[in-house]
Amino acid sequence: MIPRLTVPHLENGDRREVIQSQINFDGEIFTFCAATIGNPHCVIPLTEVNSAIAKKYGPILEINPLFPNRTNVQFMQVLNRNTIKIEIWERGAGYTLASGSSSSAAAAVAHKLGLCDSTITVQMPGGEILIQINDDFNI
């Protein structure tokens, strides 16, 4: 599967690559990257992540007008070149302990940003998964 780092159906119809864009709400500004892994994802790199952040901001970001069809949200912390930690807010389901598509989206973004190598362990509250990204950006 090749992740696309675009937002499908942006409110203005644009399908451009969305890397390190800013989203502002309630006085908070987040830098985010979009990824589509068969479903939409909004990956937000932070210096530290926890469930409280996901539960507070996830529902607001899920329904942000930038994402007319709603989006999954991952709050991502890079631990080292081969390990990231994520907290997940899944569209339509809420706070989620683990997700394969969320792990893939976050790993794709970490690799695209040059923060991680091509083999990435994704840690989630519900467990961990190893994601490998090849030279063609297939996961």
Cα angle at 29 between 28 and 33, to 5 degrees?
Answer: 135
Instruction: Give me the number of domains the chain comprises.
Output: 1
Residue 12 maps to a domain: no
Quick: pLDDT tens for 116-127: 999 999 999 999
Quick: pLDDT tens for 79-101: 999 999 999 999 999 999 999 99
Residue 123 maps to a domain: yes
Residue 139 maps to a domain: no
Strands 83-90 and 28-36 come out as unpaired
E-state strands within the chain: 21-25, 28-36, 40-45, 72-80, 83-90, 94-96, 119-124, 127-132
Residue 137 maps to a domain: no
Please tell me the distance from the alpha carbon of residue 139 to that of residue 89, in angstroms, as a whole number.
21
Half-sphere exposure of 72 (CA within 13 A, CB side): 24
Q: What is the CATH number of the domain that holds 61?
A: 3.10.310.10
DSSP 8-state class, residue 17: B
Residue 6 maps to a domain: no
Residue 4 maps to a domain: no
Q: What pTM, to 2 d.p., does this model score?
A: 0.86
Per-residue tens of pLDDT for the chain, all 139 residues: 445 544 444 444 555 556 767 777 778 788 888 888 888 899 999 999 999 999 999 999 999 888 888 999 999 999 999 999 999 999 999 999 999 999 999 999 999 899 999 999 999 999 999 999 987 777 8
DSSP 8-state class, residue 69: T
Residue 99 lies in domain: 21-132
| Number of neighbouring beta carbons within 10 Å of residue 20 | 11
Residue 61 maps to a domain: yes
Of 69, 106, 71, the C-alpha closest to 87 is: 106
pLDDT of residue 18: 66
